[in-house]
Structure 1
Amino acid sequence: MTEDEGTFCLVLHSHLPWLPHHGTWPVGEEWLYQAWAHSYLPLVDLLERLAVDGHRDVLTLGVTPVLAAQLDDPHALRACHDWLGNWQLRAQFAATRWSDPQLKDLAAAEFRAAGTALETFESRWRHGFSPLLRSLVDDDVIELLGGPLTHPFQPLLDPRVRSFALRSGLADTALRVGRAPAGIWAPECGYAPGMEEGYAAAGVERFLVDGPALHGDTHAARPVGSSDVMCFGRDLEVTYRVWSPKAGYPGDPAYRDFHTFDHPSGLKPSRVTGKHVPPHEKRPYDPVLAAASVTRHAADFVDTVVSRLRALRSAHDRPGMVVAAYDTELFGHWWHEGPAWLSAVLRALPTVGVRVTTLRGALAAGHVGPAVSLPASSWGSGKDWRVWDGEQVSDLVTAGASLQEELLGVPPVAWRDPVRDQLVREALLTLSSDWAFMVTKDSAADYARRRAKVHGDRFAELAALLRADHPSRFARTEALRAEDGLFGRLDARGLLV
């Protein structure tokens, strides 16, 4: 082992589309509260424990404005508290109906976990996520990444809409944590040549792309084009060790199976057991076996990072950098043992000579390469735009283009107009990248199409009332804002000029 093996940057992307008031189960608010309980609460707890132990610049955390809005929303806060209480009741119910001693132990563990989550939520989260996030930012525990307001796929946006969504998203993050982030996780890592100019104009200094956009040469940050904006590429050789399209740690037979439910209680009592084992044949979850797999996989990942860094040093004759980037919701929500694995990895890497830091810290350490011209790209299938611009979603793409054209044709006014504000809000909700992703991947596609249609129809209704100067537009705006009132400071005058 050398004294400095190189630099490791963990980047987590926290995002869910706007869900409050738009259904509950199987897709809707339940999705939000599961991720809140099993990913966001454990991640904040982990970061705070690392901070107490003296760790700084632990990781780079992307939080999209639309997720932050939900985690600060009064309705969502009340409903999440109810969900956590219901989780504890469901665990208590399971304990009365499960006769297997191993399952009874699991029910007791779930009861305790729910109780801990309730206590944490009541003592730390009742005023929302932003106060907790601000402390982590102010204490340099994390570097925060922002993004456009509703997570739209930026390459498909009119440049004026793209600029407004990004500038407003950065301003919303600044309102919540006291400063605008210097970096963003571009939605879906979507990039079109020239977008760096808009980033520079908005004050963005760095952003993420997927590894293939750099032809796999991700060992250093790179200025994009003639700008000073830096891009960081995901190192897929390391990233896919955890989660790949075909394999990864979460598929280990000992880990909790995400897809197998005990439907009366809603709990997940089974372990993966095997890839082709039907649900009724899966073995009961055993936390001792799972913990052993966590230890093994954390050690394997550390070895993988060290090996990769040594290969980069050999290839470039200087210490290298590895950027591993994932959805935050993988850790805890999708992969039950994910938070424990994260803790083990983040504590182990420094002990083997790896510098663990943020994207900001990597730049300070000198991990900068020559300028690069990036191709059109994303982190989706094919690493191009097909997920968001393919044949399956051609109708959504056409509707989105027409909506933007109509939006930009709305006559501006000099005063703050709540109708125009809501019109822009509904437009941006329609343009969320999630809807096309869910349709292309056939993941709750009906829900996604319905959400795109609901917001598109509301936009069209308000636009028609505006054109007619109809007095009912104000009452209708108030009704819509009761459901979709996120981003209270959104000001349409920043777009309709």
Structure 2
Amino acid sequence: MESGALALVLHAHLPYVRATAPNSLEEDWFFQALIECYLPLLETLEAAAADPQQQPQLTMGTSPTLLSLLADPTLQRRFPQWIKARLGLLHEAPADRREAAVHLQATIERHLASWHACNGDLISRFAALQRQGVVDLLTCGATHGYLPLLREHPEAVRAQLRTAVREHQRLLGERPLGIWLPECAYYEGLDVWMRDAGLRYAVLDGHGLLHAKPRPRYGVYAPICSRNGVAFFGRDSDATLPVWSAKDGYPGDPAYREFHRDLGWDLPPERIAAHGLPGQRPLGLKLHRVSNQSAPLDAKQPYQPVQAQARTREHAQHFLQGRRDQLANLQAGMGTAPLLVAPFDAELFGHWWFEGPQFLAELFRQGPEQGVRFSSLRAALGGTPNLQVCDPCPSSWGRGGFHDYWLNETNAWIVPEWSKAGQTMVDRCSRGVGSEADLRLLNQAGRELLLAQSSDWSFILRSGTTTELAKERVERHLGRFWRLMAAIDHREELPEGWLVDVETEDALFPLIQPADWARLHNTTAIP
């Protein structure tokens, strides 16, 4: 019997934070993730793939909104200037942080050179890794909509999934077979609409499988198949906690870089402004280490890159030894090769945990000598011909494990707004489109509805960070939706240039199809 394997799954996602003006908070979100996470991950994967001694494989979800940002030519033009301003600020670092500043400058310049070498086309590089069999790329909901809260109108769920698949294929050149369900959230019958969109597998949190009916004989250590023909994998907490937990896991090590202390807070506003940046704010320039976790930020010690790199080697070895022992123990009691599924937000690697990409590189480098084999989810399914048939349990990977993080006193007001707009969209699309002009308006209305459904805004409202931004985003997209529907149904005249401005600002999903919202006559089976 073949030995078991470790399936690393990364979910790369940002909401559609395209901003019309430079130096916005939204632009910072994207560019920081770009320089700290996506470019380093590509470097790690490409280097591992080029080494014949390594056998890297992982699964990676790329949300359609993130792909839209990566493909946006305006953001591509702005990125080098955004980097240039921050490189200039590194020269302002105090003397005791020069080692950290020099290291960070070299790191940023290396990733910027990588950016220029591909003319900013990161999507093609991810697609090339998929063709090599290194990465299995998953899609997501079109705008990361929290699907259990959209189920009142199944057409809204169908539109999220079909739009996502269409956009993934347009940008990456290959139709996805798997999906990272937004927030790993599942409800009874969702597999019908996954199958309708051509999606064949997904990841759930552990209790999504452990509470399935009947209970899977191998727990989370083998995929199951739903009665509607979709495979599900379960998250293994033993394989994720050491990496995920900032308190108890590797990222909290005293040698690693401190996320919360930023040069943008340490420097006086006038020195920041001299580089063309607006005031004090997080700039992605972090020069301190965790030190003592309980220490206040002003007591953090300067970052020491060599010491941190040594810790990544030690932590990778510790992690692999743990997985090797875990697989051996499981295999002794299972009739099939066990699979450890370890899903994470991709942004953990590099953005939240600066050393994360180096940790991954060490995993791939040390894997063969530690006897740990890596697998993608697609490859694992290919090697598991007979899956137990089970109905997954409604679940999510949010706090509490079900749906309450996205439906509570802070954000519940959004749900009836989604419902009202969703019903109107279904009614209108079910009547057909009368003219090319109406189709243009309806296409944009669909984009605005999808954007309003992003789970990111509900998450922010619940977590209490930048809540005004989240509220403004939901209200902006819904306001645009209702204005577009009034223009279609009541011939209300739009202000001159308004439609062009909205289409320019929310310029995603060029292949959107209003027919995806057309009313279903039988919601228990695929039409």
Q: What band does the TM-score fall into relative to the shorter chain?
A: over 0.9
Say whether residues 1:146 and 2:142 are aligned partners.
no
1:432 counterpart residue number: 454
3-state SS in 1 of match to 2:309: helix
Counterpart amino acid of 2:176? P
Range moving further from structure 2, 324-333 or 55-64: 55-64
Which whole-Å CA distance do the structure 2 matches of 1:279 and 1:245 have between them? 16
Say whether residues 1:134 and 2:132 are aligned partners.
no
Say whether residues 1:360 and 2:414 are aligned partners.
no
Say whether residues 1:173 and 2:168 are aligned partners.
yes
Alignment of 1:290-305 (within 5 A): 290-305=308-323
1:463 counterpart residue number: 485
Say whether residues 1:184 and 2:185 are aligned partners.
no
Question: Deviation at 1:262?
Answer: 2.1
1:315 counterpart residue number: 333
Which whole-Å CA distance do the structure 1 matches of 2:466 and 2:334 have between them? 45
3-state SS in 2 of match to 1:181: coil
Q: Which of 27, 30, 39 is matched with 2:28 structurally?
A: 30
Residues 351-399 of structure 1 deviation map (CA, whole Å, 9 limit, x = unaligned): 2222211111112222854111112111101110011122321111121
Range moving further from structure 2, 423-432 or 137-146: 137-146
Question: Deviation at 1:43?
Answer: 0.6
Task: Compute the RMSD of aligned alpha carbons.
Answer: 2.0
1:120 counterpart residue number: 114
1:17 counterpart residue number: 15
Q: Against the structure 1 CA distance between its residues 470 and 398, is the aligned structure 2 distance closer, same or farther, given a 3 Å change threshold? A: closer
Q: Against the structure 1 CA distance between its residues 203 and 56, is the aligned structure 2 distance closer, same or farther, given a 3 Å change threshold? A: farther
Question: Deviation at 1:477?
Answer: 1.8
Q: Against the structure 1 CA distance between its residues 170 and 56, is the aligned structure 2 distance closer, same or farther, given a 3 Å change threshold? A: farther
2:366 counterpart residue number: 348
Which whole-Å CA distance do the structure 2 matches of 1:489 and 1:474 have between them? 25
1:99 counterpart residue number: 95
1:109 counterpart residue number: 103
3-state SS in 2 of match to 1:288: helix
Q: 1:211–1:235: 8 Å Cα contact kept in structure 2? A: yes
Q: 2:312–2:359: 8 Å Cα contact kept in structure 1? A: yes
3-state SS in 2 of match to 1:41: helix
Which whole-Å CA distance do the structure 1 matches of 2:112 and 2:103 have between them? 14
3-state SS in 2 of match to 1:381: coil
Counterpart amino acid of 2:10? L
For structure 2, the residue ranges without an aligned partner over 5 or more in a row are 212-218, 273-282, 520-527
2:215 counterpart residue number: none
Counterpart amino acid of 1:43? L
Alignment of 1:46-445 (within 5 A): 46-54=44-52, 58-94=57-93, 98-100=94-96, 103-126=97-120, 128-157=121-150, 158-215=153-210, 217-224=219-226, 226-244=227-245, 246-263=247-264, 264=267, 266=283, 267-366=285-384, 369-410=387-428, 411-413=431-433, 415-416=435-436, 417-445=439-467
TM-score where L is the length of structure 2: 0.88
Question: Deviation at 1:317?
Answer: 4.2
Which whole-Å CA distance do the structure 1 matches of 2:3 and 2:324 have between them? 7
Range moving further from structure 2, 294-303 or 19-28: 19-28
Q: 1:150–1:429: 8 Å Cα contact kept in structure 2? A: yes
3-state SS in 2 of match to 1:135: helix
Q: 2:179–2:201: 8 Å Cα contact kept in structure 1? A: yes
Q: 1:6–1:353: 8 Å Cα contact kept in structure 2? A: no
Range moving further from structure 2, 17-26 or 171-180: 17-26
Q: 2:48–2:56: 8 Å Cα contact kept in structure 1? A: no
| Aligned residues with identical type, % of pairs | 31
Q: Against the structure 1 CA distance between its residues 198 and 56, is the aligned structure 2 distance closer, same or farther, given a 3 Å change threshold? A: farther
Range moving further from structure 2, 430-439 or 82-91: 82-91
TM-score where L is the length of structure 1: 0.93
Residues 66-119 of structure 1 deviation map (CA, whole Å, 9 limit, x = unaligned): 10000000111112222222232222333xxx222xx11222222222221221
Range moving further from structure 2, 385-394 or 402-411: 402-411
Residues 181-217 of structure 1 deviation map (CA, whole Å, 9 limit, x = unaligned): 1100011111001111111121111111011212282
Counterpart amino acid of 2:364? L
1:452 counterpart residue number: 474
Question: How many residues in Structure 1 have an aligned counterpart in Structure 2?
Answer: 488
Which whole-Å CA distance do the structure 2 matches of 1:317 and 1:246 have between them? 36
Question: Deviation at 1:148?
Answer: 2.1
Say whether residues 1:494 and 2:516 are aligned partners.
yes
Q: 2:59–2:137: 8 Å Cα contact kept in structure 1? A: yes
Q: 1:234–1:324: 8 Å Cα contact kept in structure 2? A: yes
Q: Against the structure 1 CA distance between its residues 310 and 474, is the aligned structure 2 distance closer, same or farther, given a 3 Å change threshold? A: farther
Counterpart amino acid of 1:221? P
Question: Deviation at 1:496?
Answer: 4.5
Question: Deviation at 1:467?
Answer: 2.4
3-state SS in 1 of match to 2:373: strand
Runs of 4 or more above 3 Å deviation: 22-27, 54-57
Question: Deviation at 1:27?
Answer: 3.7
For structure 1, the residue ranges without an aligned partner over 5 or more in a row are none
Which whole-Å CA distance do the structure 1 matches of 2:495 and 2:329 have between them? 63
Question: Deviation at 1:245?
Answer: 7.2
Which whole-Å CA distance do the structure 2 matches of 1:242 and 1:23 have between them? 36
